[in-house]
Chains A and B, each alone.
Chain A
Amino acid sequence: MQLKTQSFIIVFFFFCCICCAGAEADNEASALLSIKAGLIDPFNSLHDWKDGGAAKAHCNWTGVQCNSAGAVEKLNLSHMNLSGIVSNEIQSLKSLTFLNLCCNGFESPLSKHITNLTSLKSLDVSQNFFTGDFPSGLGKASELVSLNASSNNFSGFLPEDLGNISSLETLDLRGSFFEGSIPKSISNLSNLKYLGLSGNNLTGKIPDEIGKLSLLEYMIIGYNEFEGGIPKEFGNLTKLKYLDLAEGNVGGEIPDELGKLKLLNTVFLYKNSFEGKIPTTIGNMTSLMLLDLSDNMLSGNIPAEISQLKNLQLLNFMRNKLSGPVPSGLGDLPQLEVLELWNNSLSGPLPRDLGKNSPLQWLDVSSNSLSGEIPETLCTKGNLTKLILFNNAFNGPIPTSLSKCPSLVRVRIQNNFLSGTIPVGFGKLEKLQRLELANNSLTGGIPEDIASSTSLSFIDFSRNNLHSSLPSTIISISNLQTFIVSENNLEGDIPDQFQDCPSLGVLDLSSNFFSGVLPESIASCQKLVKLSLQNNLLTGGIPKAIASMPTLSILDLANNSLTGQIPDNFGMSPALETFNVSYNKLEGPVPENGMLRAINPNDLVGNAGLCGGFFPPCGKTSAYTMRHGSSHTKHIIVGWIIGISSILAIGLAALVARSIYMKWYTEGLCFRGRFYGGSKGWPWRLMAFQRLDFTSTDILSCIKETNVIGMGGTGVVYKAEIAQSSTVVAVKKLWRTESDIEVGSGDDLVGEVNLLGRLRHRNIVRLLGFLYNDTDVMIVYEFMVNGNLGDALHGKQSARLLVDWVSRYNIALGIAQGLAYLHHDCHPPVIHRDIKSNNILLDANLEARIADFGLAKMMVRKNETVSMIAGSYGYIAPGELLLTILTIFIFVG
């Protein structure tokens, strides 16, 4: 090493004496080596950068290029995964005209010394993570033509002195955190062709002076937080080809002057607050190819002048307040491919010739008040892929030309007044995936050819007047996931062709006149999740095989004429959550296993022959006697014996239970197998809001002091780990007092909890079920691994969770969404009354979940004492706290 250095020094001196240029070159080599020293180069891309070697050897190093005098002229270190810092030594490369650091992993501030490279013509530091201010001083680089610093983490203001670089043609500062307004000095960049400032935090008005950039061709400044509108001086940018101001927080009217820009081919102004009318001068922008004004508050008519834009390919006006007709001239535009006008208040018909003269691909005019017939011409050129017309007032037939349009992928024309029959041919369109015709007035049958489709995955023909039988192989469409034909007049048998339904997830044949038996082969649909057959005329029994379907979670067979017993394996069905067999002719005992133990009685009512569970007891032989027609007297005797012995048994059980309960109560023990917790010996009942993998016994065995994880105004919370099913839940045992029981408010409470159990929102802790007896209520919740927000913020481990603002913001938003659901989407609204950080739980993804909703209210109503006051100190407005106390005194007094 020492030798090397020595020789280097000797060589250095040698060159120093002989010729100055050589010294310069060595200087540059050492500058490059100091640059290398500051870099982290994980792939050793700069392996050939090493000292020694011949003079000017560095000119052959990776990424280095010298000029004829031997000075480094170009340095290209792009795409090397470099990080670390760019050494100040870079300023020694005096002849550098081209510097490219693009597409690396730099996370440091950008060296200010870069501004001493006054010969630079091109500087590219884009696509890194450079932080801090962008160094000011580049104004000295008077020959700079291109500056690209896009996609970084720069912050602070845009450097004012950029305006001095009059040679600049490209200025790209998109995608950082620049703030403040666009400096007016930018108007001095008289050679500027490309201005990219989008995706920053720029504020203030867009300066009128931008209108002086007379050579500007590309202006991409959207995704900022500007105020005010588009300066009318933009009308002077006569070379402008591309204008992107999308999501720029700009408003006001779109200036008429834009019409002067004859070269403009792209205008993106979507997601702003533009109001007023679309200027009619838009018809003068004759080069326009892409025009997107969607997501604004534009009103009035669509100007007919738009039909003069013969180059128009994309026209997006959706999500505005436009009214009036769709200009008929749109049908004459020869290039139009995309037309999206959805969510406006447009009326009248679609242009008669739409699609006739242009390769129309997408047409979405959904959610307007359009009427008239669907034009025959939409697919004339054979390019139409998406036809989306839903929520309008279209009438007349579905054009037969559509069913012969091979490019179609989606047809969504539900919620109109279409009549006539479904044309034959949709089944032969090889790309068609969705066919949604629901809620029209279609008649006739389901065409046989639909069943031969190989591509359809979603079919919804519901709420029409279709009457026919189902094509026998329709369920076997290989990609079919959803098939809905509810609320029609369909009849005949359910086809027994379910052997091959590889993708079917939803099958809804409800509210028709299907008859015959429920085919057992339906059980071979391995992916079926929802099976809705209610309100038909089905007869026969429920096939036992259905219970073993692996993913079936909703089975609705209500309101048919099904007979026989409920097969006892239904309780053990692997995924079943909802099982509705009400209003049939079922008989015999309700099996008491698995999910059937916690079934809602409403799902069983209307079957005169059912017994057990919620129904009158079957008696040991009643099922037998009913079927075998045994004598009435025998029945009565058996009944008496059972009755008397049960009374004795209950009395005995009560005594035993009381002693066990007292023992538990005094000793605080808990052991498996005890089922009687109440002082009056009434067994705990488990009411489930969804499928549960545990029993009340599992829960009760965990209600012990060592499992307490929290205590609050409404009760004690236990953690229950159920080993067999490896699930963890939280159980809240509510505080109760004797008086509750005396006034018989237990039922109210159960009703209330029942109501809360139906709430479903991703930001609300899910109630899984509850256990109750005549004295106590325990509520079973999901267990949240990350505890509550109060501990996460103020607890000892707070350092680990929630250290960045984005996760805190997301929690705030989550709570807000959960509360908005409780306040605005629930009927009646649910007022929480005890929102506090300890009641906000955090799930595994640190998403907020509101807990304890609704309980505060119940507790107040049951125990009107000040100690039970709803809300927590510090979380109620001081004045209201007093009021609340006052009120409760008045109530109580």
Chain B
Amino acid sequence: MAEYGYSLKVDEKIDIYSFGIVLLELITGKRPIDPDFGESVDIVGWIRRKIDKNSPEEALDPSVGNCKHVQEEMLLVLRIALLCTAKLPKERPSMRDVIMMLGEAKPRRKGGKKNETLTANKESM
């Protein structure tokens, strides 16, 4: 193996890439391979071109991203998807990092208690 110059260590990063593709499906509503993409072969190339043209909003699934604050939330997740689909496996985040980043991209919706100024009634369980 080594003499061929390739060391294919099939590690977690292969799943991370695929996960990134699923994220893109959730964001765009499109399949990973779609005739609409034209010359760019796949969804990753398509998205990256939209970003290069400075119009990533166009890539968002219009059936969910119909208002501005939702679009912004979706763009946060798009950023994660792009990291996951980095060309070089070592540049892709780990799944733990992804969860952390997703936590930061959590949609803001009103919960019942959002307005109450709570005293921090927390306890280590």
Contact = CB atoms under 8 A, between A and B. Distances in A.
Interface of A: 150-151, 153, 155, 174-175, 177, 179, 198-199, 201, 220, 223, 244, 246, 268, 270, 290, 292, 294, 314, 316, 318, 340, 342-343, 362, 364, 366-367, 386, 388, 789-790, 793-794, 798-799, 802-806, 808-809, 811-813, 815-817, 819-820, 822-824, 829, 831-837, 840, 870-880, 883-884, 886-887, 890
Interface of B: 1, 4, 6, 8, 10-12, 14-15, 17-19, 21-23, 25-27, 29-33, 41-43, 63-65, 67-70, 72-74, 77, 85, 87, 89, 94-96, 98-99, 102, 105-110, 114-115, 117, 119-120, 122-124
A695 B10 CA distance: 38
B117 A198 contact: yes
Given A364-B124, A809-B77, A876 B17 contact: yes
Contact of A816 (B1, B30, B69, B95): B95
Given A175-B114, A805-B70, A831 B11 contact: yes
Given A833-B14, A840-B22, 4 more contacts: A198-B117, A794-B31, A837-B22, A875-B18
A388 B124 contact: yes
Contact of B124 (A244, A366, A829, A833): A366
B8 A804 contact: no
Nearest to B84: A816
A177 B107 CA distance: 11
B65 A813 contact: no
Q: Which DSSP category, helix, strand, loop or mixed, fits chain A's interface?
A: mixed
19 contacts: A155-B68, A244-B117, A246-B120, A268-B120, A340-B122, A364-B124, A793-B25, A798-B29, A803-B64, A804-B64, A805-B74, A805-B107, A808-B27, A812-B77, A817-B99, A820-B96, A824-B96, A871-B18, A880-B8
Contacts of B30: 794
User: Which 3 A-B pairs rank lowest in CB-CB distance, beginning with the nearest?
Assistant: A874-B32, A835-B18, A820-B95
A618 to B, nearest CB: 48
A822 to B, nearest CB: 8
Nearest to B105: A809
B87 A877 contact: yes
Contacts of B73: 805, 809
A809 B106 contact: yes
A438 to B, nearest CB: 15
B98 A816 contact: yes
Contact of A823 (B25, B94, B122): B94
A201 to B, nearest CB: 6
Contact of A832 (B15, B85, B108, B119): B15
Contact of A808 (B33, B41, B64, B119): B64
A715 to B, nearest CB: 19
Contact of B21 (A292, A817, A823, A875): A875
A819 B15 contact: yes
A875 B17 contact: yes
Contact of B123 (A340, A793, A808): A340
A835 B42 CA distance: 16
Given A155-B68, A808-B26, A890-B1, A201 B108 contact: yes
B32 A875 contact: yes
B93 to A, nearest CB: 10
A151 B114 CA distance: 9
